[in-house]
Amino acid sequence: MLGIERLKPNVGPQIDLQRFADSDLAMRLYGEVGRDWAWNDRSHWGLDDWTARVDQPDVEFYAAYRDGKTVGYFELERQGEETQIAYFGLLPEFIGQGLGGSLLTKATETAFANGERRVWLHTCTLDAPAALPNYLARGFVEFKRETKIIDGQAEKSG
């Protein structure tokens, strides 16, 4: 997304954000949010790996709350004038409640908060079926599409 003015905010349920630097929480949320979507690139990480990631000055972790309950999280990686939404998602029990649009709106606003010119993310066919429609509804546009074979399974990413 090239500029915060392109964001189409969701007007769904309100959520609260809390930035955190807790490697245990980062590891737990990554595992729980990504469990059903084949997030396994960090599954071998130990606590030291998570601590190193959380401690990086260009990386930010945010937990999302609704009515005092953790509903999801996102991870930002700032890269000069760009920010990547590196990870983003809801805990399984909160999928389908209209919270994804609210969380993506907050993630995008937070990513642009330091005057970035571009915010980007990636998705794939292994992600939740609502992921790509949510990204497009918030104003993200498809930039590139590719196919990768992972463990004998075709993964198409956009």
Check pLDDT > 80 for residue 148: no
Helices assigned H by DSSP within 43-98: 47-54
| H or E stretch at 25 | helix 23-34
Please name the helix (run of DSSP H) or strand (run of DSSP E) that holds residue 35, with its range, or none: none
Nearest to 59 by CA among 68, 71, 50, 46: 50
Alpha-carbon distance of 117 to 10, in angstroms, equals 21
Whether the pLDDT of residue 156 is over 50: the answer is no
Least confident window among 40-54, 74-88, 96-110, 115-129: 115-129
Residue 142 predicted with pLDDT over 50? yes
Length of the chain: 158
pTM here is 0.90
Stretch 146-152: mean pLDDT: 67
pLDDT for res 151: 65
Helices then strands, each counted (H, E), the chain: 4, 7
Average pLDDT over every residue of 16-33: 97
N-terminal to C-terminal alpha carbon distance within the chain: 14
Instruction: Please give the average per-residue pLDDT across 86-100, as a whole number.
Output: 96
Is the CB of residue 124 less than 8 Å from the CB of residue 132?
no
Domains for the chain: give ranges and CATH numbers. Answer: 4-157 (3.40.630.30)
Across the chain, what does the average pLDDT equal? 91
The whole-number pLDDT of residue 23 equals: 97
pLDDT tens figures, 51-89: 999 999 999 999 999 999 999 999 999 999 999 999 999
Contact 142, 133 (CB under 8 A): no
More confident residue, 147 or 131: 131
Query: Does residue 158 have a pLDDT over 50?
Result: no
> Angle at the Cα of 66 (from 102 to 61), degrees rounded to 5?
70
Structure tokens at 121: 């993310």
- Listed residue (83, 123, 131) closest to 107, CA to CA: 83
